Structure 1
Amino acid sequence: MAATPVPGGEAVRRVLLCGLALAVSCGCAAGGGDDGRAPGAPTGVTARAGSATSVHVMWNAVAADPPVGAYEVYRGGRKVGDVPGSAHMLDVVRLAPATEYVFTVRARDDDGRLGPPSREVRATTPAAAPADTSAPTRPGGVTGRAAGSRAVQLSWSASTDDREVLSYDVYQGGTRIHSVGGAQTATVVTGLRPGTRYSFTVRARDAADNLSPAGPAVRVTTPPGTDDGRDTAPTGFRATTRRAADGAHYIDLSWVAPRVDGVVTEYGIQLDGATVTSLVWGGTPPRGRATYSFYAGRDPGVTHRVRLRARLPDGTWGAYSAERTVTTGAGG
């Protein structure tokens, strides 16, 4: 049921639109692009050993104007890779086994301006397995289903190996688009086109870089439309109000990040039908349930509708969470 507008609601929205969301209170920073400036630092950077001699580095797309034309990946202070702006992953190869490495990523826009480095991430390659020439078994039971018009959910049964399955590689057609850890047997692929037929396969990899045969291909057609994908919405969304000691009212939010490829670091909050702010975690987002609180004015009895959505690692926005209605003064 729609909330009835009451005095004070518009004032709260105006304050939020002017940047009321206090980033310091939740370890976040306000998001947004800087027109005509170098792109920002990539967020959501992760590094995971793909074998004893390779590391898989991933990051979230950076929104910039002009657009990002390429990403540069650094090992320590040395550039080790350069990929187009449409890509958000790179395998760094020819590494030493049983060694820790430090990686950063920088975005470069179409005008050649290079943005600042991301935060450092570390990965340690496992020890090499001597004389290991046995590849893992092929993944079985591969299934897929459309999760709205722009995402597909994939799952498969675990492969076996004489030592250990270190990772799974996901292919779209003949192109590898993602890798996940050896303990993971499901993922959500985002950034797809509506009304398009796709074919996905999965292969397992061990520490010696032995690659299994591809599992059975699964073909999925995304439905027509422009929705963001129902499985890309934050889950378990809750909203309550509280009254602080000084008499001010606050809205407290909590949610669980959607399960997608990569790390979700940015969320957009919508209040009473208008997007009021974006929250960006500068460091590592919390595991499990995330929380955020913002000022809602000093008047009791003001009703608000609130929901939020995640910016997915591919740079697109996911679906909105369920909408919650709260009234100041009703939560204590």
Structure 2
Amino acid sequence: MDIQALSPEIIQETQVQSSATTTDSIPTDLINATFSSTCIDLISAPLSSRILSFSDEFFAPASNLLNPLPPIHRPGVFIATGAWYDGWETRRHNTRPYDWVVIKLGVASGRVRGVEIDTAFFTGNYAEAVSVQGCFESGDNADEKVKGEEYEGWKEVLGRRVCGPSRRHGWRVEGGMEVTHVKLCMFPDGGIARFRLFGEAVPVWPQDEEEEVELSAAVMGGVAIACSDEHFGRKENLLLPGRGMDMGDGWETKRSRGKGHVDWAVVRLGARGRVSRIVFDTRHFIGNFPQCVKVEGCDIQDSEETPGSADKRWTELMGAEKLGPDELFEFKGERIRMANGQKYSHVRITMIPDGGVKSLDESTKKGEKEGPVL
């Protein structure tokens, strides 16, 4: 009987396939729906995530992995090293098992719930497989400690998974491992356009009971869980730090034509608390800011429940207030209805009739908040 000899390539492919499970994989068209209402991208560049070290980035820089925008394609455009790619690409013929990049999360730490690897526009040069490792290291020297190849504290977040050309790949991660840094491994070399690490921020609360805390901020555990529309700008942008680079860094809806139209977004706060100050930022929104905004709140004990737009538990926090172009608008004191000390787990922002804002800040004093809304 003839026995067929297996090439090293076939053996390697078989080993990779056997290490993957079918239960944790998410269809491409369901990745957004799976994570967008419960998680943030813990390594998004606007959160101040950053690349600490890498094995190689000869063709395209590793920092592209953290770009929150979808990858773009520029066929026929060449730079000194070859064709231009919107992603991370290493040189050919890697003599080691894999290329790697170490990333510091943009939050103090986070519980990992999912991973996305996007190989958009990488066809003959895409990563054939990936794995993700994580660690929890704090202190002044944590970054220096984990960035070197000699660091041995990595634990598996996602085992080796097969990737295909020019497509999004998503996986659920069970257990909610808490990490401060992650290491993406690419087998054996090649290119990846984007890397997303979905999860919940685990904030570090200030010790001073009088210090103000931004309950809605993504870095403090806030999550934008639903909205009426996000045609021009994502709802998640509302909760990011800073004032943004341009109009694309805010939440913006399409133009409305019907009478009485409003647009809204629901935010799950990082902790239950009394809201004492509300700030809207219309930076970069000059001809398309909303005429007015109003804010409502509700307190929901069930962390799995998402309050709908018609939910009767919404109570007014701030009545309709006018906004203007390219400016910060702060509301506090009598302009916020404290509702007899009511604490809130969720807030709903309504834009009248439509438009865009850069960010929202719902703040309280540290002593006026309770545990996280998870």
- TM-score, scaled relative to structure 1: 0.26
The structure where strand makes up a greater share of residues is 1
The structure where helix makes up a greater share of residues is 2
